[in-house]
Chains A and B, each alone.
Chain A
Amino acid sequence: MRRFFVLVGVVLAGLCSGIASLSAVCSAQELRMPEPVPAGDDAIISAGGSGKGTFYLIGPGISRKSDVNLADDIRISGQDLRNAGAYLVIVCSSSCESGTLYVTPAKPYSLAFIVHPSRVPVARNDAVSGVAFPFDQYRNLVRTPLDINFELGTGKGSELSHSARTQEGAAWFRTSSGKSAEILKVTASLGDISAERAVQQVASDPCNLRITGGRTKTGIVVQTEPVHDCAGNPVPDGTIITFTAEGPQGKATVDAPIKKGIARAAMEGNGMETISVASGVVMGNELRIGAQP
């Protein structure tokens, strides 16, 4: 029993000394932290003591330990403060004192600019959108409100100019695609900083799809007139046009790609045939071709 109480006493004493040493390590000392500094600038911290100490700097991208003279100011090089964020400063001598130094982004240097989509059919509502984020030269997000100018234009001139103020570092726009199938240049600018992206505007769905055709010795040949969208842009080569023939022998379908603006197909059948044409959900005219004499 006596041995048990001795053991408990030893354990308690150990615990107390552990707690005491921990509190001694963290006991107070005077540390004067500066106001937030811009990224890349030097910062000066005053430890306000005497003798030697150990200085720790822990922040985004850095973790450093060095010996310091507590009577002297501690200068942190701007090279160590390039990432915006919170830096924990710890100075230890007989005890440790800590403080937080905030580093704010420097002035805007570049724009991250994302534009969607890379290809878009002409005359689509709210089809083109873009987001811009200003960053400083150290790739920190600049959150102070800034006016970003978005300009959209083709070779024929400017189609849209829109200014948006960044909120929490982001500015954005959304607009319809233009009328002509050509490259749309989208530019975001902030003062003399700018970023440019390109969107390929392509013809929309075919419009007024019309076919002509006739009988040959072996069957029927049908072809479209030059295929355009409703704005008059030629539908790109490779777009699939579907021809369907219905006659006494049943129904036959042929898919043909547009080549040089026209789709052409040869079909079998020697009876009275009705030919129809479609591209996606767009239907064209019907053509009746008589039976082979």
Chain B
Amino acid sequence: MRRAIHFAIALAAICAAASLSCFAADAVQVQIDSRKAGPRSMEPLTERAVLRDYRFAWASMARALEFNSLDPLQGPFEGDAQQWLKNSVLSQQQSGLSQRYVGQDHRVEAVFYSPEGDVLELHDTVEYQLQVSAGGKIVHDDHLTMHYVVLMTPGADRWVIRQLQAVPRF
């Protein structure tokens, strides 16, 4: 009986840990359309990998900006995108601000895929609820539709975001 209880507790702990680690990525919905990608066409496996890594990158960015932590930015971001995100987190730490992205829903279109498959450009139309807190008090809470131009390159084990630029329209 005692063994069964211990087993149940262990199972519950594993489930809780697993659900916590997956929570952030699950909260980010991404649909990708690669039909217009060119000059190289995108293989289904590549499309799936890009979708997985893009979703993870946004979940990581949301975590970094909500908890003012630099750790989530290591890996999914490189180059200029990583630099400005780091600067955002550091300046949020100084000014006592934080941002919370809720209910992200991304509709992503691949618009350029280089001949050798080493650069990918995406257009992302995303909807989310953005909450900005200053010293624990919410000063902004709004539902937004934003457009992002994204450059991704393949890294050692994943696709990384190198450029993430919001634009008024595509």
A residues at B contact (CB < 8 Å): 22, 25-26, 36, 54, 56, 58-65, 83-86, 88, 90, 92, 96, 98, 102, 105, 114, 116, 129, 131, 133, 139-141, 143, 167-170, 172, 174
Residues of B within 8 A of A58 (CB): 88, 97, 99, 132
Do B139 and A141 touch across chains, with their CB atoms under 8 A apart? no
How many residue pairs between the two chains, A and B, have CB atoms under 8 Å in the bound complex? Answer: 114
In the complex with contacts A60-B88, A139-B80, A25-B139 CB distance below 8 A: yes
Contact of B166 with A by CB under 8 A: yes
Asked whether B115 lies within 8 Å of A56 as measured between CB atoms, the reply is: no
B60 within 8 A of A: no
Q: A65 — which chain B residues lie within 8 A by C-beta? A: 95-97, 134
Given the contacts A62-B88, A83-B84, A141-B151, A131 and B138 also touching, CB distance less than 8 Å: no
- Is B130 part of the contact surface with A, judged by Cβ < 8 Å? yes
Residues in A with CB closer than 8 Å to B123 are 168
A interface majority secondary structure = strand
Q: Would you call A174 and B91 a contact (CB within 8 A)?
A: no
On chain A, the residues within 8 Å of B121 by CB distance are 168-170
The distance from the CB of A143 to the nearest CB of chain B, in whole angstroms, is 7
Residues of B at the A interface (CB closer than 8 Å) are: 39, 80, 83-85, 87-88, 91-92, 94-97, 99, 111-112, 114-116, 118-119, 121, 123, 130, 132, 134, 137-142, 146, 149, 151, 163-168
Q: What are 21 inter-chain pairs, A to B, with CB distance below 8 A?
A: A36-B168, A56-B134, A58-B99, A59-B88, A60-B164, A61-B83, A61-B85, A62-B87, A64-B95, A65-B97, A65-B134, A84-B166, A85-B165, A85-B167, A88-B132, A102-B166, A105-B165, A116-B115, A116-B118, A133-B151, A172-B115
Once bound together, how far apart are the Cα atoms of A167 and B79, in whole Å? 22
Cα A168 to Cα B163 in complex, Å, equals 13
